[in-house]
Amino acid sequence: MKFQLEKVIGHRGACGHAPENTLVSMSKAHELGIKWVEFDVKLAKCGELVIFHDSLLERTTNGMGSIANHDFLAIADLDCGSWFSQQYVGEKIPTFKQLLSHVASLNLGINVEIKPCEGKDLETALQTLDHLMSHWPVASQPPLISSFSKIALQAAANWHFPLGYLINCWDSSAWEEVLDHCNCIALHVDQKILTPQRVAQVKKKGLLLLAYTVNDTARATELFSWGVDAVFSDFPDRILLEA
Ligand code: G3P
Ligand code: MG
């Protein structure tokens, strides 16, 4: 199927409405009429790929310490919903495999952000790509793979998935080099550092430009008017009305 990006991408599912990076957050995005979701992939100690944003367990679970030091069995039973609301008590950290099966069943387009634990860039990227080859339905549109990690993107460069480079500070020669070197088709930029001139510079190179994280409808309208192709939002339903 052809790669067709949507203008509004649910951030970590729809993480303003449901606990981030969970199956229920993906379902929520789907319920809200969102067609694409983003989520973060990292490796737990035993080599299991899981959907999780932080290096530490504390903020979003009832566990403690670094996720890199825990086997999946040790985190599988953690509660990652009750920090968000009592409605989500008992929500679990999904494995990548579980998540892929869930979003494929909802027919969602996906942006897989490779977010390695420290020093695990190559391993995380290779396992993520291998999982996608084995578990993502061929009939679905290809996943957009992104990362702040140059090592991860380099590892992905020859796998024929569309790639995006994530940045949070502006250095044109640095991002141009990574994009060229890794055959990226997209630049994913912190919306706070975007200006009309910067958007024009990216678009002139024929790249897709995605902006994170946009929860304000007026800001989304402004970014779209500058030529931004898509925005990530915790409240994608708000932005959908403007897109
Ligand atoms: O992929 C867009 C956005 O998710 C990048 O930042 O920290 O929310 O993963 P972060
Ligand atoms: Mg992310």
> pLDDT at position 72, please?
85
Q: Is residue 53 annotated as part of the catalytic site, yes or no?
A: yes
CATH number, domain containing residue 42: 3.20.20.190
Question: Which ligand 1 atom lies nearest to the CA of residue 40?
Answer: 9
Task: Please check the confidence at residue 3 and state whether its pLDDT lies above 90.
Answer: no
Answer for the pair 61, 48: CB distance below 8 angstroms, yes or no.
no
- Please check whether residue 1 lies inside any domain of the structure: no
Task: Please check the confidence at residue 233 and state whether its pLDDT lies above 80.
Answer: yes
pLDDT digits (tens, 9 = 90+) for 181-215: 999 999 999 999 999 999 999 999 999 999 999 99
Question: Which ligand 1 atom lies nearest to the CA of residue 12?
Answer: 4
Please choose from 41, 110, 113 the residue to mutate so as to test ligand 1's pocket, defined by most ligand atoms within 8 A of CB.
113
Give residue ranges with CB within 6 A of ligand 1: 11, 38, 40, 53, 113, 146, 166, 188, 212, 232
Nearest protein CA to atom 1 of ligand 1, as residue? 113
- Across 53-67, 93-107, 229-243, least confident range: 229-243
- Please check whether residue 183 lies inside any domain of the structure: yes
pLDDT digits (tens, 9 = 90+) for 88-127: 999 999 999 999 999 999 999 999 999 999 999 999 999 9
CA dihedral 19, 233, 168, 151 (to 10 degrees): 60
- Please check whether residue 44 lies inside any domain of the structure: yes
- Please check whether residue 63 lies inside any domain of the structure: yes
Overall average pLDDT of the 65-69 stretch: 92
- Please check whether residue 2 lies inside any domain of the structure: no
pTM over 0.85: yes
Number of domains in the chain: 1
- Please check whether residue 3 lies inside any domain of the structure: no
pLDDT digits (tens, 9 = 90+) for 131-144: 999 999 998 999 99
Dig out the tokens for 71 from the structure. 């086997």
Q: Is residue 17 annotated as part of the catalytic site, yes or no?
A: no
Dig out the tokens for 132 from the structure. 């996608």
> pLDDT at position 1, please?
77
Domain that holds residue 229: 8-240
Residues with CB under 5 A from ligand 2 (ion): 40, 113
Question: Which ligand 1 atom lies nearest to the CA of residue 148?
Answer: 5
> pLDDT at position 64, please?
95
Give the three-class secondary structure for 186: strand
Task: Please check the confidence at residue 150 and state whether its pLDDT lies above 90.
Answer: yes
Q: Which comes out higher in pLDDT, residue 44 or 189?
A: 189
Assign 240 a pLDDT band (cuts: 50, 70, 90). confident
Assign 71 a pLDDT band (cuts: 50, 70, 90). confident
> pLDDT at position 84, please?
98
Alpha-carbon span 5 to 230, nearest angstrom:
8
